[in-house]
Structure 1
Amino acid sequence: MPQVEIRKRLISVEEIFHEGGPRANTPLRRCAGLVVIRNPFAGRYVEEIAPFMEDLKPVGLALAQDMVTALGGDRSIVEGYGKGSIVGSAGELEHGALWHAPGGYAMREVLGNSKAIVPSTKKVGGPGTRLDVPVTHVNASYVRSHFDAVEIGIPDSPRADELLFALVMTTGARIHNRMGGLAASEIKGEDGLR
């Protein structure tokens, strides 16, 4: 399989203190990790692309580990996650799907014992394309307080022959969440849903 050629990486941490209501004692932190690589399948149809997921595993692991470090080094504070990809215009949507296993399993491995499926989104777009990456609780997808999205993007990426892969992690529920539903304290953690 082709070698992974990284052009750039970006890790950002956003802190949210309030959304117009009372100031939170502890701000919600939302971390985004992005990596831009050359798309080895750009400009042509290749039938067998799935083996490239194996080559992407170290990229996902390194990104997830660096995100935990950016959040202070304690993986136990991560309560929400998601993943996404933006495919440059010479690629196809299926190239973005290559990130499903390497991105999702990387976060689950780095975080230790998460049970919920990692929500995902993808699209084809040019430089500067933005993507809203969905977020759910790491152990139970039905925890309504953690339904969120983190907008990601890089002004010069992806170029036509590139892939932009993203992971996101959050340290808690939305600030001022009050929509009810299953509370994080009520998670049974048996099936990744409840």
Structure 2
Amino acid sequence: MAASIRKTLLHVETTLIEGGKAAPQPLVMIAAAAVLKNPWAGRGFVEDLRPEIAEVAPELGALLTGMILERAGSGEAVEGYGKSAVVGTDGEVEHASALIHTLRFGNHYRHAVGAKSYLAFCNTRGPANAPIMIPLMDKNDGGRRSHYLTIQMAIPDAPAADEIVVALGASIGGRPHHRIGDRYQDLQELGHDAENPAAV
């Protein structure tokens, strides 16, 4: 393997009651994470990160996508999706960004779930047990606010100073009692073209 992976983790969270009221259907949020050696650790400032991106990112994308799909049951079942990376304290945020902000990583997931939207993301630096935040959005509709969700988790022994945690997140369903409307309603109320939201 190109990636030196120490371990993987599958996190599953199921919400049955929200706001004291039973959910119409359970909200299932899934995160798949890999803890790997930072491929740039101990090398000082590396100008060109592309060789390691090309070697490591596709492997991580395939691995984590497979973990998500196995738990979700299919790509069609995934409604919300996102990605995240946390680099250890000896690394740069650029190292975390490098492994997730590449089509070599994200396209494995995007194609597997049949998505149209970009992958929501978070990239940070922190010590072991640092918060891993995976923002989610609807895989086909970036203005659908019911699927604006965040998976929160931590790994007690990761990332070590010379490691990176890379993660993908998924939701089956949206927030149980979504009632704040979607972006398109705001656009209409503000007198903008809801059919062409990019123009605003």
The TM-score bracket by the shorter chain reads 0.7 to 0.9
Equivalent residue, structure 2, for 1:32: 31
Equivalent residue, structure 1, for 2:5: 6
RMSD after superposition: 2.1
Q: Which runs of 5+ in 2 are unaligned?
A: 185-194
Equivalent residue, structure 2, for 1:16: 15
Amino acid at match of 1:81: Y
Q: Which runs of 5+ in 1 are unaligned?
A: 184-189
What CA distance in whole angstroms lies between the structure 2 residues aligned with 1:116 and 1:70? 22
Question: How many residues are aligned here?
Answer: 184
Equivalent residue, structure 1, for 2:153: 152
Q: Does the 8 A contact of 1:21 with 1:176 survive in 2?
A: no
Equivalent residue, structure 2, for 1:45: 45
Amino acid at match of 1:38: K
Structure 1 window deviating more from structure 2 (6-15 vs 22-31): it is: 22-31
Q: Does the 8 A contact of 2:65 with 2:109 survive in 1?
A: yes
Task: Specify whether residues 88 and 148 from structure 1 end up closer, same or farther in structure 2 by C-alpha distance, changes over 3 A only.
Answer: same
Cα drift, residue 182 of structure 1? 5.3
Q: Does the 8 A contact of 1:127 with 1:157 survive in 2?
A: yes
Equivalent residue, structure 1, for 2:192: none
Amino acid at match of 1:106: H
How do residues 72-87 of structure 1 correspond to structure 2 at under 5 angstroms?
A: 73-87=73-87
TM superposition outliers: structure 1 runs of 4+ over 3 Å: none
Kindly, what percent of the aligned residue pairs are identical?
33
Amino acid at match of 2:74: D
What CA distance in whole angstroms lies between the structure 1 residues aligned with 2:91 and 2:118? 26
Equivalent residue, structure 1, for 2:111: 109
- From the two aligned structures, give the one with the greater strand fraction: 2
Q: Does the 8 A contact of 2:39 with 2:52 survive in 1?
A: no
